Amino acid sequence: MTEILLITGGGRGIGAATARLAVERGYGVCISYLSNHIAAQTLVSELQNLGGTALALQADVGVESEVVRLFEQLDAELGPLTALVNNAGILEQQMRLDQMDAARLHRVFTTNVVGSFLCAREAVKRMSTVHGGKGGAIVNVSSTASRLGAPGEYVDYAASKGAIDAFTLGLAKEVATEGIRVNGVRPGVIYTEIHASGGEPGRVDRVKSGVPMLRGGEPEEVAKAILWLLSAEASYTTGTLLDVSGGR
Ligand code: NAP
């Protein structure tokens, strides 16, 4: 049986690296994206040229109707989902809490938390043996910010990832007898474009001296951890949060 994997926010960064590795390992892959159609389509063409099965679908993970449509389109185009990576995530301009307004908090929590919940819900409906499914695996992409707190930069983002950690532990137990494993990865500082959203594209190089391994991580290094957690090699692993952070 071909494994069918959905990676939210898969057009760029960690999601794109995960898509490349997944296709290499024989998964049929759907990547979702918010607005960067070109990045997503370019990646899909690259994956198809390698002989892989790949599809890109636009959907805002924070909008319930769009998530429902995303999963319905995926069902129709690729068949039954067996794996989900809740990877889509945002952070905003670095600032202290006393500068943050409610609109920002809603945006960050809607994408990072509500989005992951909605996508996991649709995945559980399809994978759980209680719903007639054949099981599957979910990996939530959290962050080391959930235990470091990101003071002076984005405590809102860090708190949203704390919610993802708790969600991972709870959902793993909720569906443990239904054929679904749920785990999290917590990347440290990884070279992607997300740091530009915080106003500091070069952030990884600024903070890397505080990483025990004295370097930032590559998206591919996170992708390998995600693929392991999805695979049968992790068959007895659920409710685990795996740090991929160079010791930080
Ligand atoms: P990135 O390069 O900025 O890519 C983010 C991806 O998420 C993009 O594909 C983007 O779509 C998508 N996205 C954003 N909002 C979305 C929405 N509302 N609905 C659907 N898709 C949405 O980020 P990254 O660094 O690869 O981060 C991936 C995950 O790793 C995030 O959850 C992030 O918090 C986590 N993480 C990253 C680091 C790091 O240092 N890079 C560290 C710890 C954790 P478009 O392409 O259409 O814009």
Ligand 1 centroid to residue 132 C-alpha, Å:
32
The candidate with the shortest Cα–Cα distance to 242, out of 227, 231, 226, 220, is: 226
Q: Cβ(48) to ligand 1 under 6 A?
A: no
Q: Whose CA is nearest to atom 12 of ligand 1?
A: 9
Dist CA 129 CA 173 (whole Å): 15
Q: Which pLDDT belongs to residue 185? A: 98
**Strands ordered across the beta sheet of 28-33:** 54-58, 28-33, 4-7, 83-86, 136-141, 180-187, 241-244
Q: Cβ(8) to ligand 1 under 6 A?
A: yes
Question: Which residues are known catalytic residues?
Answer: 157
Which residues are CB-contacts of 37 (< 8 A; sequence separation ≥ 6)?
A: 56, 58
Report pTM.
0.98
Query: Do 140 and 101 meet the contact criterion of CB atoms below 8 Å apart?
Result: no
Q: Cβ(193) to ligand 1 under 6 A?
A: yes
Q: Cβ(42) to ligand 1 under 6 A?
A: no
189 to 145, 202, 230, 238: CA distances (angstroms): 10, 11, 22, 24
The candidate with the shortest Cα–Cα distance to 1, out of 138, 133, 140, 184, is: 133
Q: SS3 of 138, please?
A: strand
Ligand 1 centroid to residue 131 C-alpha, Å:
30
Count of beta carbons in the 10 Å neighbourhood of residue 37 = 12
Strand ranges for 67-213 from DSSP E: 83-86, 136-141, 180-187
Dist CA 114 CA 34 (whole Å): 15
Ligand 1 centroid to residue 87 C-alpha, Å:
6
Dist CA 7 CA 140 (whole Å): 10
Q: Which pLDDT belongs to residue 92? A: 98
pLDDT in tens, the chain (248 residues): 689 999 999 999 999 999 999 999 999 999 999 999 999 999 999 999 999 999 999 999 999 999 999 999 999 999 999 999 999 999 999 999 999 999 999 999 999 999 999 999 999 999 999 999 999 999 999 999 999 999 999 999 999 999 999 999 999 999 999 999 999 999 999 999 999 999 999 999 999 999 999 999 999 999 999 999 999 999 999 999 999 999 99
Q: Which of 87, 91, 205 to mutate to test the pocket of ligand 1 (most atoms within 8 A of CB)?
A: 87
Q: What tokens does 153 get?
A: 């930069």
Q: Which pLDDT belongs to residue 87? A: 98
Strand ranges for 18-173 from DSSP E: 28-33, 54-58, 83-86, 136-141
Q: Cβ(60) to ligand 1 under 6 A?
A: yes
Q: Which pLDDT belongs to residue 72? A: 98
Q: Which pLDDT belongs to residue 238? A: 98
Q: Which pLDDT belongs to residue 200? A: 97
Ligand 1 centroid to residue 16 C-alpha, Å:
10
The candidate with the shortest Cα–Cα distance to 207, out of 160, 152, 155, 164, is: 152
Q: Cβ(221) to ligand 1 under 6 A?
A: no
Q: Whose CA is nearest to atom 8 of ligand 1?
A: 9
Q: What domains are defined for the chain?
A: 4-244 (3.40.50.720)
Q: Which pLDDT belongs to residue 13? A: 98
Dist CA 239 CA 194 (whole Å): 26
